[in-house]
Chains A and B, each alone.
Chain A
């Protein structure tokens, strides 16, 4: 029975590794290929877009993502054929509800706090937002230099 117990313990540990550590392994290899891709695409000339679509819950974590765009596609009104690597924050944030969030939700449901006006939003969980931004400059089609301040995100965090 001692042998049975240790066998059971072994099986338990192995199952943890499968669900828990397997999770870690996938995360690590996922990161490596992303970085590998990033390295490669940085030096390649053919890659048109580097946006990453969420393939699994792991890839939809709050992260800095990038997409290659023409300046005119930003629809800010500039007439330029130059391209910009637009970086933005997107992804889910771990939802840890505080007592505030729980109470707020209850009060909204019970009607004590009025419903949000159309346009106003109540976020009941943290959201993925930039920590700071980067400026960007380009030459337009009339050969004038333009600068767009705080165009791209430079880092992301879960806020609130």
Chain B
């Protein structure tokens, strides 16, 4: 609680002093990360792991990239790691930087552009102990609800964002889908779902149409000023 309220205060302070149109908030988050030695070095480590070509192929080593991403998120204090992931953007330059943060060419997209079926991806995830627990955390803490003021079933005080970040570096890594919005999605499709089409859609929409998740993402970055009472209610 205390950690997150201080983080929010820090971010709102930095947002009020910075002029939005001139300063790229995601660049500032990257610079803040660079200031803190541990953040800078672990960030370099995952970028190196995710950009290095695997021997004998033009692709990256996705396994190593995932592992380095998880290390970054686990070892760096949240004010820096989540700051870099959820920095607020008002222009496409900032948005593009934000989208590229996790080196999506390795950790998110497939080189050939092929998307697996979402339910297949989920079943692969469930077979892995780590991914299974991370997915369960996400489903638990980011469950949307129409009944609550925050849009979340649980007033989880920042656990939703942490749970979402916990999926990064697993088989079900989500990411921003464009540089002009904060919309996120899994890299998967519902084609070939057959009878399970609705279940597949439900899973996809947990990322693309999740009011709870969106609120948390925007609250963290301080963007949702107009529904600030919703932010207050949800966590900070």
For chain A, the bracket of interface size reads: 20 to 34
Is the CB of B130 closer than 8 A to any CB of chain A?
Answer: no
On whether A83 and B48 interact (CB within 8 A), knowing A137-B43, A145-B103, the answer reads: no
What sequence of 0s and 1s flags, for each residue 38-69 of chain A, a beta carbon within 8 Å of any chain B beta carbon? 00001111010000000000000000001010
CB-based contact B40/A45 at 8 Å: no
Chain A residue contacts of B48, Cβ below 8 A: 135, 137, 147
CB-based contact B97/A143 at 8 Å: yes
The SS class assigned to the A binding surface is: strand
Is the CB of A84 closer than 8 A to any CB of chain B?
Answer: yes
Query: Which residue of A45, A135, A143 is within 8 Å of B35 (Cβ)?
Result: A45
Q: Give complex CA distance A135, B47 in Å.
A: 10
**Beta-carbon nearest neighbor of B24 in chain A:** A81
CB-based contact B100/A145 at 8 Å: yes
Task: Tell me which residues from 14 to 63 in chain B have a Cβ below 8 Å from any Cβ of chain A.
Answer: 24, 27, 30-32, 34-38, 40-41, 43-44, 47-48, 50-51
CB-based contact A137/B36 at 8 Å: no
CB-based contact A139/B31 at 8 Å: no
Is the CB of B96 closer than 8 A to any CB of chain A?
Answer: yes
On whether A83 and B31 interact (CB within 8 A), knowing A42-B37, A136-B44, A137-B43, the answer reads: yes
Can you list 22 A-B contacts (CB < 8 A)? Answer: A42-B36, A45-B32, A47-B35, A68-B35, A81-B27, A82-B31, A82-B34, A83-B30, A84-B34, A85-B34, A85-B35, A85-B40, A134-B41, A134-B44, A135-B48, A137-B47, A137-B48, A138-B44, A138-B47, A139-B97, A143-B100, A145-B103
